[in-house]
Amino acid sequence: MKNQDSNIEFAADLGQAQVRLSPELVRIAQKRACGVHMLRDEVARLMVESLILEMDPELEVLLDESASMSQSDNLAAALGVSDIVINGHRLDVRALAEDGTVSINRALIGSQYLSLGTIVVSLASLSEGKVVAFLGAGLWMKAEETEKAKPNQAEARLHLSVDCRSDFDFAATLKNFLAKPVVKLPSTSRLQDVKGDVDLLLNNPEKLISARRKQIFSYLCSNWNEDTLSLVESIKLAHSLSSLDMMLRDAARWNNIVEKLTDKLAAQFDKVSRAEIRKQVLACGEAYGAQFRSPAFSKMLLTNLVAGQAAGKKSKLFAALVEKIMAGAGSLEAVRELVLNKTAVELAHQIKCERNLKKFSGFVAVSAEEIGMAFQKLALQPAYATHSSGDSGVESINEALTLLEIGEMAEALASIDMVSLG
Amino acid sequence: MLSSRTELAEILGLAPDWKPVLDSLTDGVSKNLDKGAVTPYAFFEKLGARSIYLKCLSLGKERELLVRILRDSYYQPMLARMLSSNQSLKRFWAQRKHPADFQKSQAVSMAVELAAKMEGVLKRHLDGGSEDGFKVLLPAYVQRSVHNAAVDYIKEEWQWEKETLQDLNLDPEQEDPRQSTADDIKYAPENQAISREQVSQLNQLRAELKEMLDAGTTEAQREPLVVVDLIFGLALTEKSKSGQELTMREVCEVLSIAGETQARKIARCQVLLDKGLDMIRNRVRSKLPGVAQCWQSDININTASRRELSHQLGLTEGEVDRLIAARQYYSLEELVERGALKANRLDELRENGAVASFVPVDINVCTTRDMIDILGLPKELAQKITSLRPFASFEEMEQRGLLDKSGLGSLIERGGAVRAVDKAGEGRLDINSAAGETLKALGLKQADCEKILRGRPFTTWGELEEYLTPDAATWQVVRQKTRLSLFPY
């Protein structure tokens, strides 16, 4: 008798132990998994669970999900715990790697957790697989003993090559194992500071010697219940692979922003070196976060770069000018509002236009001919020049000219912000 | 409602021959006083599926009563226990940050529903007089039904999410569906903002990585780091391009990793990636002490809902009001400067995982709720904007008389944006929102299309490849003709 809407499809009979998982389950596993090892083991475990669920109910093979240690995200992420509990028997489940080996964290070997052994699943893809072997606990212990003699025993995981049989009968093997009594292994009965020790095991295992790691894990195994679970889960995993993953992804994104922004700005600010622009972008990020579209970020970046471009001609009016332009004012409008001598602004504007026509750029002091030409264009009498005292008239024109130049640059930069740098 | 005692009595009334079994149970309990009284569930468990089923078959009119008792006192408690410990459901709920009480109540209501279904199945078997109908009462059978029900529930919810997330006209009083979607959605590139603390760490990290790469004298020392560089697109080495994440398959090609088969090559690449990540993790542990805290904090005060602010960050009603009124902040310290919070509350806020990162809010696609809560627009105006969008620019909004110059200024200051369309990849199909038919038209297989539809959204190419495990040709189509866009917009 089969449930009407079974989500498990079988390619072959149970003896062949081939199983296909629903994509939703794979996605949940993928979202949970923090590292590549863990994802494959996680999927392998789900496959074994599905197989067991599909067995004849009369066999009375019951999964006890509330007793499994793999429900703890911390243990799964830090130590790669991946187990199922069937009728009170705890079994480890591992995915077979491409090179025909399975690997396990050394801390798990020799504990109650591995007292029965490991079910090995060969994955065709993340949603399809087949149980291919069963490794007894003794094999792991033996492998660890042999490895001890080798020099690279510092590695946290122990690899074991598996002898796979294509005719492996999962149902029969499982029945065999369930008939065996559960052997109670000697285990640590007490820990001085449970939370502190487990914290060390999860976050800084390299600070503990191998035997101590085993001791702490073995304590967790023999005292596994809801309280222990909540204790383990209450510990913050400081440097998990998932947070490192997120960090590296952010690093790539931030670097991408920096590079693209630097490229675009380098074209605008020819007097500022690329390295300097880069430095400014990095500094703005440290002050306002990575959102280059935020007004505060672009204002700070703009002000600093404009100051760099105008090297040596720094004016008190820069900040005010940049602010006006960021608020949406045109460069001429903004300069008009800031410089008291309105005629000087008009003259400067004319000179600027003329220079633009001649493709002449940079801050060059205004010449007498240019002023004369601008007067002519504006059809003004040169009374202004004659009646103003000393050089102040020319100075005002030069100042307005500088501001206009900067204003134009600022305008160009403000438009960069709308371009998606994705 | 019946008490356990009368329920047991009722059962015995229907099946007086079960009395010795109950007595033996009661004896056991009385010897073990702390275990409490015998429950109907324990009694049924002791009786076993076969004898219960045979009894049901032998009963006439009273059969219905026993079946009802079985539904309420046998199936329901068993289902509730199994559903509340079901790991798939637990993970699904946990990824959506549902609180424990919600999970529990959801499990109970599913148990009630499923118990009724099981009752129906049992009745059908009894009516048909089938011999092996007792199997329906076996815990292993119930367990399988629980698994199927859980997967069906997840599928339905998944579908609901996809449909509901498109709803952008939310009332501020309404629950925001984006708060009840999987965690990783907010890590979609566009939705994620990097705070200033994080940027400082990233600037340091880059220097560290560069140093590690330079220090690696042999190829064996450098290779794992080069793989990490390529996979994440960090642009630290020549072959890696900024912002271009490669998948394992592509890394194998770029680095010409040796191996007999593609799978072997990928496996080798995976080993290198693991090693590289471990090297970086150890370096981060020793050189960047503040990193862990920076990447654990994940509630952005600029975008968090009122519920998150009060429940998860522990802010008072008044603090929440003041905080929302003065959004957006570039750092947590600004909360104090702008009078939303007292200085002594800042540490607690930080410990609870608060972070401040500016987030641009695109007027053309954001929810009405975001306009009100993040940009501080009045409700009527926000609704009007929603009905009139899209806008080409802020000027257009001004021309249409929605906002004056100063209003526009404050809108921009608070993060309002009218975003130009992203030209890169405009012609490509968005794999996170394209319809199944359009995907198929690209030349993808039906099975692959279905799988993509069921698994989205994807945030990285690597994730998609890992999930889909496509062949080379399919993958080429996917990479060349589609793009991974932001979710949910």
**Residue A223 and residue A307 in one domain:** no
Angle at B309 between CA B303 and CA B310, to 5 degrees: 160
**Residue A226 and residue A322 in one domain:** no
**Residue A316 and residue A225 in one domain:** no
Interchain contact, B358 vs A61, CB within 8 Å: no
Domains defined for chain B, CATH in brackets: 4-164 (no CATH), 196-295 (no CATH), 297-355 (1.10.150), 429-483 (1.10.150)
pLDDT at residue B260 tops 50: yes
The nearest CA of chain A is from the CA of B210 a distance in Å of: 13
In a domain, A6, yes or no: no
Is A242 or A91 the better-scoring residue by pLDDT?
A91
In a domain, A107, yes or no: yes
Dump the DSSP string for A33-71.
--SHHHHHHHHHHHHHHHHHHTS-GGG---B-GGG-GGG
Q: Does A215 touch chain B (CB under 8 A)?
A: no
Among A328, A325, A350, which Cα is nearest to A400's?
A350
| Chain B CB contacts of A204 below 8 Å | 285
Q: Which residues pair with A128 in a beta bridge?
A: A20, A125
pLDDT at residue B479 tops 80: yes
Looking at the structure of chain A, the number of domains it has is 2
Write down the pLDDT at residue B188. 47
Least confident of A12-16, A78-82, B359-363, B470-474: A12-16
**Residue A38 and residue A179 in one domain:** yes
Write down the pLDDT at residue A379. 66
**Residue A254 and residue A340 in one domain:** yes
Tell me which of A234, A252, A271 is where a domain ends. Answer: A234
Write down the pLDDT at residue A181. 78
**Residue A168 and residue A276 in one domain:** no
Write down the pLDDT at residue A9. 38
What CA–CA distance (Å, rounded) separates A267 from A261?
A: 10
Q: Which residues pair with A49 in a beta bridge?
A: none
Closest-CA residue of B relative to A34 is B274
Tell me which of A234, A257, A288 is where a domain ends. Answer: A234
According to DSSP, the β-strands at B429-430 and B299-300 are: unpaired
Is A52 or A412 the better-scoring residue by pLDDT?
A52
| Chain A CB contacts of B201 below 8 Å | 247
Q: Which residues pair with A95 in a beta bridge?
A: A121
Percent of chain A surpassing pLDDT 70: 81
Q: Which residues lie closer than 8 Å to B309 by C-beta, 6 or more apart?
A: B299, B301, B315, B319, B320, B323, B324
Closest-CA residue of A relative to B393 is A418
Least confident of A208-217, A260-269, B199-208: A260-269
A80 neighbors A37 (Cβ within 8 angstroms): yes
Identify which of B233, B267, B281 has the shortest CB distance to residue A244.
B281
Among B413, B356, B433, B421, which Cα is nearest to B393's?
B421
Interchain contact, B140 vs A50, CB within 8 Å: no
Write down the pLDDT at residue B322. 92
Q: Which residues pair with B58 in a beta bridge?
A: none
Interface of A with B in 254-293 (CB under 8 A): 254-256, 259-260, 282, 285-291, 293
Amino acid A390 reads G
Write down the pLDDT at residue A147. 79
Percent of chain B surpassing pLDDT 70: 88
Is B412 or B166 the better-scoring residue by pLDDT?
B412
Q: Is the peptide bond before B488 cis (omega within 30 degrees of 0)?
A: yes
pLDDT class of B174 with cuts at 50, 70, 90: low
Closest-CA residue of B relative to A103 is B271
Least confident of A228-237, B231-240, B247-256, B361-370: B361-370
pLDDT at residue B149 tops 90: yes
The nearest CA of chain B is from the CA of A163 a distance in Å of: 18
What CA–CA distance (Å, rounded) separates A67 from B73?
A: 23
Residue B88 gets the label, from left (phi > 0), alpha (psi -120 to 50) or beta, of alpha
Dump the DSSP string for A68-106.
-GGG-HHHHHHH---EEEETTEEEEEEEPPTTSEEEEEG
To the nearest 10 degrees (0 to 180), the angle between helices A331-338 and A342-357 is 150
Interface of A with B in 295-354 (CB under 8 A): 295-297, 327-328
Tokens standing for residue B128: 């048909």
Write down the pLDDT at residue A44. 94
Is A54 or A411 the better-scoring residue by pLDDT?
A54
Write down the pLDDT at residue B120. 95
Identify which of B330, B420, B454 has the shortest CB distance to residue A288.
B330
pLDDT at residue B433 tops 50: yes
Mean pLDDT for A233-252 is 84
Amino acid A84 reads I
| Chain B CB contacts of A250 below 8 Å | 192, 194, 198, 202
Write down the pLDDT at residue A173. 86
Closest-CA residue of A relative to B196 is A289
Best residue in B87, B228, B297, B351 to probe A by mutation, most A CBs within 10 Å? B87
pLDDT in tens, B301-337: 988 888 888 888 889 999 999 999 999 899 899 999 9
Tokens standing for residue B166: 């498109």
Is A55 or A92 the better-scoring residue by pLDDT?
A92
pLDDT at residue B488 tops 50: no
**Residue A203 and residue A266 in one domain:** no
A21 φ, ψ (degrees, to nearest 5) = -100, 150
Amino acid A298 reads S
Range of the domain at A83: 14-234
Identify which of B158, B292, B419 has the shortest CB distance to residue A238.
B292
Interchain contact, B292 vs A50, CB within 8 Å: no
In a domain, A37, yes or no: yes
| Chain B CB contacts of A206 below 8 Å | 282
Tell me which of A184, A216, A234 is where a domain ends. Answer: A234
Angle at A141 between CA A137 and CA A145, to 5 degrees: 165
Q: Which residues pair with A133 in a beta bridge?
A: A120
Write down the pLDDT at residue A12. 37
According to DSSP, the β-strands at A101-105 and A157-161 are: antiparallel
A136 CB neighbour count, 10 Å cutoff: 14
**Residue A28 and residue A126 in one domain:** yes
CA B250 → CA A97, B225, B244, B391, B471, distances in Å? 20, 16, 11, 40, 13
In a domain, A1, yes or no: no
ipTM value? 0.81
Write down the pLDDT at residue A137. 84
**Residue A111 and residue A188 in one domain:** yes
pLDDT in tens, B199-219: 999 999 999 999 999 887 788
Q: Which residues pair with A101 in a beta bridge?
A: A161
Interchain contact, B151 vs A289, CB within 8 Å: no
Tokens standing for residue B483: 């793009």
Identify which of B182, B202, B360 has the shortest CB distance to residue A254.
B202
Is A193 or B188 the better-scoring residue by pLDDT?
A193
Average predicted confidence (pLDDT) for chain A? 80
Identify which of B141, B143, B182 has the shortest CB distance to residue A63.
B143
The nearest CA of chain A is from the CA of B44 a distance in Å of: 16
In a domain, A8, yes or no: no
pLDDT in tens, A9-35: 333 345 566 888 888 889 888 888 765
Q: Report the SS3 class of residue B452.
A: helix
Average predicted confidence (pLDDT) for chain B? 84
In a domain, A9, yes or no: no
Interchain contact, B424 vs A286, CB within 8 Å: no
Is A149 or B58 the better-scoring residue by pLDDT?
B58
How far is C-alpha A240 from the chain's CA centre?
11
Q: Rg of chain A over CA atoms, in angstroms?
A: 36
**Residue A216 and residue A324 in one domain:** no
Best residue in A128, A235, A237, A254 to probe B by mutation, most B CBs within 10 Å? A254
Tokens standing for residue A238: 């400081």
pLDDT class of A310 with cuts at 50, 70, 90: low
B119 neighbors B67 (Cβ within 8 angstroms): yes
**Residue A212 and residue A254 in one domain:** no
**Residue A226 and residue A273 in one domain:** no
In a domain, A327, yes or no: yes
Identify which of B88, B285, B422 has the shortest CB distance to residue A420.
B422
Across B42-56, B215-229, B463-477, the highest mean pLDDT is recorded for B42-56
How far is C-alpha B31 from the chain's CA centre?
47
Write down the pLDDT at residue A290. 87
| Chain B CB contacts of A286 below 8 Å | 196, 199-200, 203
The nearest CA of chain B is from the CA of A24 a distance in Å of: 6
The nearest CA of chain A is from the CA of B92 a distance in Å of: 7
B300 φ, ψ (degrees, to nearest 5) = -85, 115
Interchain contact, B466 vs A39, CB within 8 Å: yes
Interchain contact, A248 vs B274, CB within 8 Å: no
Mean pLDDT for A73-80 is 88
The nearest CA of chain B is from the CA of A398 a distance in Å of: 31
Secondary structure in 3-state letters for B14-53: HCHHHHHHHHHHHHHHHHCHHHCCCCHHHHHHHHCHHHHH
Q: Residue A417, exposed/middle/buried by CB under 10 A (0-12, 13-18, 19+)? A: buried
In a domain, A51, yes or no: yes
Among A11, A4, A20, which Cα is nearest to B148's?
A4
Q: Does A61 touch chain B (CB under 8 A)?
A: yes
Tokens standing for residue B139: 């815990």
The nearest CA of chain B is from the CA of A14 a distance in Å of: 15
Q: How many CB pairs under 8 A join A and B?
A: 250
